[in-house]
Structure 1
Amino acid sequence: MRDSGWFKSSYSATASNGCVEVRMTDDAVGVRDSKNPTGPALSFSHREWSAFVRGVKNG
């Protein structure tokens, strides 16, 4: 997997809207605020991220 770089969801309307950005690496999944790209980022294991995504999809 290496490093995907930071990306926004394809559901984001425009580049100026505030949203989260995600970055996938071999070791972790990072999440940050797109309005503050130099600010702090959260880091999750792939297992934690998968559980989160499943939870969102299942409501």
Structure 2
Amino acid sequence: MTQWRKAKRSGTGAQSNCVEVANLSGNIGMRDSKNPSGPHITLPAERFRELAAAIKRGAHDVP
């Protein structure tokens, strides 16, 4: 069974909606925690690390 998880800082309860991630046989899956049965995105692990690094440095911030 796939174990989806989200950041510890996202909190708990109704206000804790965020992106969840899961290890999917060497790839990383991402989904919206508000819609766990909905679609998800799958990236190779290296591409996920690149995306996470870009997000951390602000490359995808909305102006």
**Same fold by TM-score greater than 0.5:** yes
> What is the TM-score normalised by the length of structure 2?
0.75
RMSD in angstroms over aligned alpha carbons? Answer: 1.8
Partner of 1:5: 3
How far the C-alpha of 1:25 sits from its partner, in A, is 2.7
Of the two, which has the highest radius of gyration? 2
> What is the TM-score normalised by the length of structure 1?
0.79
Aligned length: 57
How far the C-alpha of 1:58 sits from its partner, in A, is 2.4
* Gap runs ≥5 in structure 2: 59-63
How far the C-alpha of 1:4 sits from its partner, in A, is 6.3
* Gap runs ≥5 in structure 1: none
Q: Which structure would you say has the larger RCO, counting Cα contacts within 8 Å and 6 or more residues apart?
A: 1
